[in-house]
């Protein structure tokens, strides 16, 4: 974790400093109080790279009118405490020291502490998802990984039984058994949603698996001689329409959750006549294995038996039970 340094200053003439510093596991906090007006400023290079700064300038004319012409700063401790020969008596708690100060100063101190807490939270590793509702939210954790453009993955290898199995394992949770509250929390009407017959819940999918399903279909089109060998011209045209739909899904997904790591280009003339992509950057990635394990446990399988939505069950011409489309390898 990067060092996190947040500081702010309350001062009329720069005599007193208030600051909070968090470095590694240590934390220290010091306060100073001012008179006529105070200036608050701060910055934080947080580990999440979300830098922020703030500036607040407030005047206290009701305080300055009571001050001497020399505008001496109020001490943090009372005079009798400063003159005390008993050190322990001077070590009062932060709140007892500030209890006699103007409410605006106390409010400012609380505000500064809140800013510190926010910055510290931003610096925590493995933060869970914060954003729109998703049933996956509690199971999503993130980690930094190197952005390696040439890292090998089996999913791009030429067709083989091993590649087909890898894709099958990856896309297996394409369907998801959603609870009624999960459907409602996603702004959907359960009465308008297909239900599962062999397990409790509604038929759904987690977005990433829709995208992975689409990636696999595009992979199939790269090797049509294997996966679409026996299709008629009409069937092939239908598959092209599906592939175009999938391409749109992938583009939208990438634009919604973009990889913003910096990639550069190197030149290695002894290996390649053109510049090659490279990167020493890191990027934030989902911890895939625990997420995938959770999604797999909630999957009803490739071919769940389904029932029409509740609001259609009373219609005579509605098919009551049906199965999902055939998404087997080579289908």
Cα distance between residue 277 and residue 266, in whole Å: 6
Q: Residue 138 domain-assigned?
A: no
- Specify whether 96 is located in the same domain as 188: no
pLDDT of residue 48: 38
pLDDT tens column, 67-81 = 444 344 434 333 343
What pLDDT is recorded for position 261? 97
Whether the pLDDT of residue 28 is over 60: the answer is: no
Question: In the numeric block, which tokens belong to residue 223?
Answer: 């090797």
pLDDT attached to residue 112: 73
Using alpha carbons, select from 299, 286, 330 the residue that is nearest to residue 140: 286
211 assigned to some structural domain? yes
In a domain? residue 88: yes
Q: Are residues 182 and 247 in the same domain?
A: yes
Q: Tell me, yes or no, whether 82 and 182 share the same domain.
A: no
Q: Which domain holds residue 31?
A: 4-123
- pLDDT of 277 over the 90 cut: yes
Residues 42 and 105 in one domain: yes
Residues 312 and 220 in one domain: yes
241: its two tokens? 């329409």
Whether residue 98 sits in one domain with residue 55: yes
- Judge whether 106 and 95 are in contact, CB under 8 Å: no
Asked whether residue 182 falls in the same domain as residue 257, the answer is yes
Whether residue 288 sits in one domain with residue 161 = yes
The rounded mean pLDDT for the chain is 73
Determine, yes or no, domain membership for 329: no
Same structural domain for residues 118 and 148?
no
- pLDDT for the residue numbered 216: 97
What is the count of structural domains for the chain? 2
Using left for φ > 0, alpha for ψ between -120 and 50, and beta otherwise, residue 297 falls in alpha
- 164, pLDDT greater than 50: yes
Residue 131 falls within a domain, yes or no?
no
User: In this model, does residue 223 exceed pLDDT 90?
Assistant: yes
Task: Tell me how far apart the alpha carbons of residues 183 and 173 are, in angstroms, rounded to a whole number.
Answer: 17
118 and 172 co-located in one domain = no
Kindly state the DSSP code that residue 92 receives in the 8-state scheme: -
Residue 232 dihedral angles phi and psi, to the nearest 5°? -75, 170
Is 305 a residue whose pLDDT tops 60? yes
Residues 85 and 118 in one domain: yes
Residue 122, CA atoms < 13 Å, CB-side half-sphere: 21
Whether 129 is in a domain gets the answer no
Same domain, 181 and 301: yes
pLDDT at 29: 39
Q: Which tokens hold the place of 184?
A: 């409602």
Domain stops at, among 123, 158, 179: 123
C-alpha–C-alpha distance, residues 116 and 112, integer Å: 6
Question: What does the pLDDT average to over 259-284?
Answer: 94
pLDDT in tens, 79-128: 343 344 444 444 444 445 545 556 666 677 776 777 766 655 554 555 55
Pairing, β 305-307 against β 321-323: antiparallel
In a domain, 223, yes or no: yes
DSSP helix/strand/coil, 4: strand
Contact 302, 328 (CB under 8 A): yes
Residue 203 placed within a domain: yes
Confidence category of residue 271, pLDDT binned at 50, 70, 90 = confident
């Amino acid at each position: 974790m990067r060092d996190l340094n947040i500081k702010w200053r309350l001062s009329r003439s720069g005599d007193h400093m208030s600051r909070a510093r968090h470095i590694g596991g240590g934390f220290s906090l010091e306060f100073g109080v001012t008179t006529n007006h105070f200036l608050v400023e701060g910055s934080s290079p947080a580990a999440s790279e979300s830098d922020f700064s703030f500036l607040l300038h407030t005047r206290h004319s009701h305080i300055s009118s009571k001050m001497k012409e020399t505008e001496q700063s109020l001490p943090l401790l009372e005079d009798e405490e400063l003159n005390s020969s008993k050190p322990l008596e001077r070590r009062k708690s932060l709140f007892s020291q500030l209890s006699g100060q103007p409410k605006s100063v106390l409010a400012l101190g609380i505000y500064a502490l809140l800013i510190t807490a926010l910055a510290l939270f931003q610096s925590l590793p493995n933060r869970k998802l914060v954003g729109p509702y998703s049933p996956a939210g509690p199971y999503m954790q993130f980690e930094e990984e190197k952005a390696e453009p040439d890292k090998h993955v089996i999913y791009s290898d030429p067709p083989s039984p091993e590649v087909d199995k890898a894709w099958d394992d990856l896309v297996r949770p394409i369907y998801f058994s959603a609870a009624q509250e999960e459907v409602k929390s996603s702004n959907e009407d359960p009465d308008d949603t297909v239900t599962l017959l062999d397990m409790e819940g509604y038929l759904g999918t987690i977005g990433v698996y829709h995208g992975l399903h689409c990636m696999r279909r595009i992979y199939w089109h790269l090797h049509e001689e294997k996966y679409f060998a026996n299709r008629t011209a009409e069937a092939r045209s239908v598959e092209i329409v599906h592939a175009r739909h999938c391409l749109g899904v992938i583009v939208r997904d990438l634009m919604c959750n973009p990889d913003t790591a910096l990639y550069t280009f190197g030149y290695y003339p002894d290996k390649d006549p053109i510049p090659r992509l490279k990167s020493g950057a890191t990027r934030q990635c989902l911890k895939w294995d625990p997420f995938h394990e959770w999604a797999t446990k909630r999957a009803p399988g490739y071919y769940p038996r389904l029932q029409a939505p509740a609001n259609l069950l009373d219609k005579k011409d509605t098919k009551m039970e049906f199965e999902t489309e055939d998404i087997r390898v080579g289908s």
